[in-house]
Amino acid sequence: MRDKTQQQNTQELQKYFATVLRKRSKGEVKTESIDPSIIKFFTRKELINILTQKYDGKLPKEVNLIELENEDLLQLIEDELMILAYLLPKWIAEELEAQTQDKTSQSVSANSVQVDAKAEESKTAEASKTEKQKASDKSQAEKGGGTKK
């Protein structure tokens, strides 16, 4: 399950990419580099994974990951859509997991209600039996008491 910080980061990134896509849809394609402010949302490993995905697992020979800073990796990615292509499957998986957990917790809650209802029915039936037994015992006592006289 995602924590609050991760959820907030996801929401901020979604807003960022919504703006990027909105601008692209209006023909306002940015030719500049990727906004460096988004680097705070990614680990070095993620940036490398995005680059690796961009180059289909085969980084160019001139790319030396050891010498590159995270900002350099971001510039090598070149296009926000590469980052979005990396993030979308993760977001979809997280959403599916959240939906599954919601359904599971609803199912557990429903089962709990059913168990509680059955327990209540059982208590009611037991109380009813006890009342009937008491009435029967009283009746037997009255009959038994009447025959002894």
How many domains are there within the chain?
1
Domain that holds residue 38: 4-108
Residue whose token pair is 């006890």: 130
Residue 124 in domain: no
Residue with token string 């990727």: 34
Work out the pLDDT band at 80, boundaries 50, 70, 90.
Answer: very high
Q: Give the separation between CA 76 and CA 50, rounded to whole angstroms.
A: 10
Please name the amino acid found at residue 54: K
Q: How confident is the model at residue 110 (pLDDT cuts 50, 70, 90)?
A: low
| Predicted TM-score (pTM) of this structure | 0.65
Give a yes or no: residue 135 inside a domain: no
Model pLDDT for residues 38-68, shown as the tens digit of each residue: 999 999 999 999 999 999 999 999 999 999 9
Task: Give the three-class secondary structure for 99.
Answer: helix
- Tokens representing residue 113 in the block: 């209600």
Q: Does any domain span residue 136? A: no
CB 83 within 8 A of CB 51: no
Number of residues written out for the chain:
149
Round to whole Å and give the CA distance between 89 and 25: 22
